Amino acid sequence: MSYISDLRTKIGHDPVVNVGATILVFNKKHELLLNLRSDTNDWGIPGGGKELGETLEECALRELKEETNLDADCLELITVLSGKEYYYTYPNGDETDCVIALYQVKNYDGELRINDGESKRLEFFSLESLPPLESRAEAIIGKIRSGKIKL
């Protein structure tokens, strides 16, 4: 059981501060990897919550592997995000106030594959033609498009 899942058994749906990592993966055509999330049925950017004792870099690499089957040999920390744009209520009622370490993968290897039940699909999209995004992913993409996040 993950740290957040274990915490949820104790506090129910009440808000929690969740620290985690989100990973931007671009292919050679500069298309962004997104996952169709099974919990929200929206497209998002691979990532997730940090486990106890884990570094943010370890979290990013673990989440990338779990959600996409990709291995990365070089992560670049882009920024740390927090605030009301990253407060999220899941369809089941769980509330989370996210602190997100945003990484970009420079080099990756492996065959793209869903390894867990967190995704329904994995697909690369151009930044100009993205599907409907989950709100936290939309906030990140908005900052990229506006130049507030430089890649």
pLDDT in tens, 26-68: 999 999 999 999 888 999 999 999 999 999 999 999 999 999 9
Separation between Cα atoms, residue 48 and residue 4, nearest integer Å: 10
pLDDT reported for residue 23: 98
Quick one: pLDDT band at residue 15, thresholds 50, 70, 90? confident
Confidence of residue 100 (pLDDT cuts 50, 70, 90): very high
If you ran DSSP here, which 8-state letter would residue 110 be given? Answer: S
Q: Does domain 3-146 have CATH number 3.40.50.10860?
A: no
Between 106 and 100, where is the model more confident?
Answer: 100
Q: Give the helix/strand (H/E) hosting 40.
A: none
Q: Smallest Cα–Cα separation from 25: which of 99, 102, 80, 117?
A: 102
| pLDDT higher than threshold 90 for residue 11 | no
pTM of model > 0.85: yes
**15: DSSP letter:** -
